[in-house]
Amino acid sequence: MDPRVPILRNPSMRLRRCTPVLVVALALLLAGCGFHLRRSAALPAGMQTVHLDIAGGGSLQRQLTRALQLSGATVVEHAGTGVATLRAPVAQFSTNALTLTGFARISEYSVSYHVEFEVLGADGHVIAPMQRIDLAHEFTFDSTQAIGIAGEVDAIQRSLTGDMVQAILRRLDAIAKHPPPQPAPG
C-alpha cells in the first residue's frame, strides 16, 4: 500500500469530502438546463401603494396581496390619495363537460378561471388597461369514483388561482419593463 494515499475508512468522512463537489455540480446542472428560481415581479411606476378591488375577494385577493407585497408594494385596505387601484370586476370559475362516453356519461371536464383586471394610478390615469386572462385545466372523470370530484375541482381551483396571480404579475412586470407611451398633455 502506498503511504502517501490517505485511507478513508469512515464512509461519513468520504461523504463530507464529496458534498461540496456534489453541491457545485448540482448548481451547474440546474443553471445549465435553464432552471431559475422565481423572482418577484417589477411593478409599474405608481404602484408602490395599491388597493385591491377584486370581485368576490377570497383566495385571489389574499394571494395577490402577498405577491404584491413580495414585489415591494404596500397593499392598503381602502383607496385614497396616493393609492393606485388594481380592479378586477370579473373573477369567476366555471366547470364544463368536455367529452361524453358512448353511454352519454361525462368522461372529461374542464375547470376554467376567467379574470378581467385593470390598474388605475393614484391620479386616475390608466397604468394597465382592462385585460382578460383565461386559464383552464382539464381532467378525466371516473364515474366509479364520483365522491372525489368535488375535492379534485377544489384542488384545481386553488392551483388555477396561484397560476392567475403569477399571470397578473407577469403582465404587470411587462408593463413595468415596457411602459406604454403617455399621451401628450393637451
Question: Which domain CATH number covers 82?
Answer: 3.30.160.150
pLDDT in tens, 54-81: 998 899 999 999 999 999 999 999 998 9
- What's this model's pTM, rounded to 2 decimal places? 0.73
Q: Could you report the per-residue pLDDT of 24-44, keeping only the tens digit for each? A: 767 776 666 655 445 578 898
Percent of the chain with pLDDT over 90: 49
In a domain, 98, yes or no: yes
Rounded to whole angstroms, how far apart are CA atoms 98 and 93? 16
* 87 assigned to some structural domain: yes
Q: Is 19 part of a structural domain of the chain?
A: no
Residue 71 lies in a domain: yes
CA pair distance 10, 44, nearest whole angstrom = 57
**Contact present, 139 and 146 (Cβ < 8 Å):** no
- Average pLDDT on 95-102 reads 73
Q: Is residue 183 part of a domain?
A: no
Report pLDDT for 8. 54
- Number of separate domains in the chain: 1
> What would you report as the CA-atom Rg of the chain, rounded to the nearest whole angstrom?
25
* Residue 100: domain span: 49-177
Of the given ranges (31-45, 93-107, 126-140), which has the lowest mean pLDDT?
31-45
Q: Is residue 9 part of a domain?
A: no
In a domain, residue 16? The reply is no
Residue 95 lies in a domain: yes
